[in-house]
Amino acid sequence: MVATGKGASQGVLIKGGNALEKAHKVKIVVFDKTGTLTVGKPVVVSTMVFSDMPIQEFCEIAAAAEVNSEHPIAKAVVQHAKKLRQQYGLNSEHITEAEDFEVHPGSGVSGKVGDKLVLVGNKRLMAARNILLGTEVEDYMSESEQLARTCVLVAVDGRVAGALAMTDPVKPEAEQVISFLKSMNITSIMVTGDNWATATAIAKEVGIVKVFAETDPLGKADKIKELQLKGLAVAMVGDGINDSPALVAADVGMAIGASTDVAIEAADIVLIKSNLEDVITAIDLSRKTLARIRLNYVWALGYNVPGMPIAAGILFPFTGISRTKNHCTLKIPGDLLDILTLSKR
């Protein structure tokens, strides 16, 4: 109770003693990328249309498909379409919603915009629908990825109509947190659905050596299980629906405060302030709590083991002093008060 209350006061919501107990054993922390290591507010910096479709129409179609998605990338696509409207002198904020909207976890979304079947997502989504990319699309993606940009493809009626490249800055505290975890003998790993080039660039920026990219939600959970099979306690830090299976699979699941409801529900610990430094706070609090519990046991034994023979009258033949039942009863609250005082430190 004391530890969970102290955690809550520091912006770390711990859902029960089991999570608190497990966190002190953590040897590996697995981080998602978008919205966890990065700010989670991608911005479209480049748009390429591979058809004769006007760029405004292209962006409107992409936004219509994405508007009902909670993913940060989807929000960036919608925001880009709205900015483009302003450039064309249009003031309407309303985005037409796609019909038959469907989320493809770890890949993208699909839906019908007017009479067009629209897919917005990554290469895995296109491959799953047997949509060929072509040299021009591959070249644009490669150029974007070399610049550490995330590339989103938009297919209309079975053909790639265009792509949007976006950037998402790294959280200012990320590098320091990874470094501090290393000093605590904890290894940091990144697992993301994003492309290898962008994932590797972000990992290098924050100081993470081991990366798993282009991984779908179930693949993330599988990576967690692989690490656990080595006998290692694993924590997962994520923020989205795509992270939920991994959050559940981990020994300790930590959700960023700005996460989706699904991720928060799946997590054992919620980092309310969405600050990565609270990953350290949670683990450190667990370690200190377990150390304090051990100290309380030692204190209780050290206090009571010699006291029990005295209470039984072992010193009476030598001193003529005996302890009555009332004396012993009065001593118990004092013991408890000492332990409670130690626990609150």
User: In terms of Cα–Cα distance, which of 336, 281, 326 is closest to 303?
Assistant: 336
- Residue found by looking up tokens 């054992």 in the block: 268
Active site residue 239: no
Question: Nearest 10 degrees: CA dihedral of 102, 107, 112, 116?
Answer: -170
Pairing between β-strand 252-256 and β-strand 269-271 as defined by DSSP bridges = parallel
Other beta carbons less than 10 A from residue 95's beta carbon: 18
DSSP string, 255-307: EETTS-HHHHHH-SEEETT--THHHHHHHHHHHHHHHHHHHHHHHHHHHHTTH
- Residue found by looking up tokens 């711990």 in the block: 14
Amino acid occupying residue 80: H
- Residue found by looking up tokens 């004396």 in the block: 327
**What is the spatial distance between Cα 334 and Cα 200, in angstroms, rounded to a whole number?**
58
**What is the spatial distance between Cα 318 and Cα 75, in angstroms, rounded to a whole number?**
82
Q: 194 burial class (0-12, 13-18, 19+ CB within 10 angstroms)?
A: buried
DSSP structural state of residue 86 = H
Pairing between β-strand 233-238 and β-strand 159-167 as defined by DSSP bridges = unpaired
The long-range contacts involving 179-184, CB below 8 angstroms and separated by at least 24 positions, are 179/207, 180/280, 181/29, 181/279, 181/280, 182/207, 184/280, 184/283, 184/284
Out of 32, 168, 194, 251, the active site residue is 32
**What is the spatial distance between Cα 204 and Cα 190, in angstroms, rounded to a whole number?**
11
Kindly list the catalytic residues: 32
